[in-house]
């Protein structure tokens, strides 16, 4: 009986000692945890559009990204599907570039982007995919996002809206309107 009481007493001392340490560790961890899960990243993009601002966005379906808007070269390329591609010399006005820059600044395009959904519930084919290169104040950033996993992150949705905004400007240009129509489609 003495032996059983000794073992139980020893177990109680060990358990209470571990409990105090664990509690102390938890308190320490809790003190350093952020109060919310939202991390706000500062936007280091200048308010005024720099002179060296340029971008390229290549987009299309699955791994066929034949459409391209490229301000480095002042060109736009259209995917004609069965008939290859066609390109036109397209330059944005200063005002158009400012409006694009402002939209990029609003979404902090040079900041960290979450472009892949946390939960991958499904895959679809074909899927849209965009590849970007943005250059501002001598700094370049490249990234890709896709609709492959059915859901888009908030950042990917913002980039899709930005690309659609830019495409609308290009589609209104006479040189782009003169390009041939696409024939066929992607499965």
User: For 47, how many CA atoms within 13 A lie in the half-sphere containing its CB?
Assistant: 0
Complete edge-to-edge strand list for the sheet that includes strand 128-136? 85-89, 75-79, 64-70, 54-61, 128-136, 139-146
> At residue 184, does pLDDT exceed 90?
no
Percent with pLDDT over 90 in the chain = 58
The domain made up of 54-177 is a member of CATH 1.10.10: no
What are 8-62's pLDDT values in tens digits?
444 444 444 443 333 333 333 333 444 444 555 678 899 999 999 999 999 998 6
Please compute the mean of the pLDDT values over residues 121-128 and round it to a whole number: 85
Locate 178 and state its tokens.
Answer: 């003169």
What is the pLDDT confidence band of residue 63, given thresholds at 50, 70 and 90?
Answer: low
Q: What is the pLDDT at residue 49? A: 97
163 has a pLDDT exceeding 60: yes
- Give the mean pLDDT of 150-157: 92
Straight-line distance from the first to the last Cα atom of the chain, in angstroms, rounded to the nearest whole number: 79
């Amino acid at each position: 009986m003495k032996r059983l009481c000794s073992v139980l007493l020893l177990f109680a001392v060990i358990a209470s000692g571990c409990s105090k340490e664990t509690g102390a560790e938890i308190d320490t961890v809790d003190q350093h945890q952020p109060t919310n899960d939202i991390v706000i990243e500062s936007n280091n993009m200048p308010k005024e559009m720099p002179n060296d601002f340029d971008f390229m966005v290549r987009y299309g379906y699955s791994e066929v990204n034949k459409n391209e808007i490229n301000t480095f070269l002042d060109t736009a390329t259209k995917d004609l599907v069965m008939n290859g591609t066609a390109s036109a010399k397209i330059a944005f006005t200063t005002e158009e570039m400012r409006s694009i820059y402002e939209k990029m600044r609003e979404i902090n395009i040079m900041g960290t982007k979450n472009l892949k959904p946390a939960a991958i519930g499904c895959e679809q084919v074909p899927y849209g995919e965009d590849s970007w290169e943005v250059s501002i104040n001598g700094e370049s950033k490249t990234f890709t996002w896709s609709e492959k996993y059915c859901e888009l992150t908030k950042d990917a949705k913002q980039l899709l809206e930005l690309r659609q905004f830019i495409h609308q400007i290009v589609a209104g240009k006479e040189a782009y309107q003169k390009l041939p129509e696409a024939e066929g489609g992607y499965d």
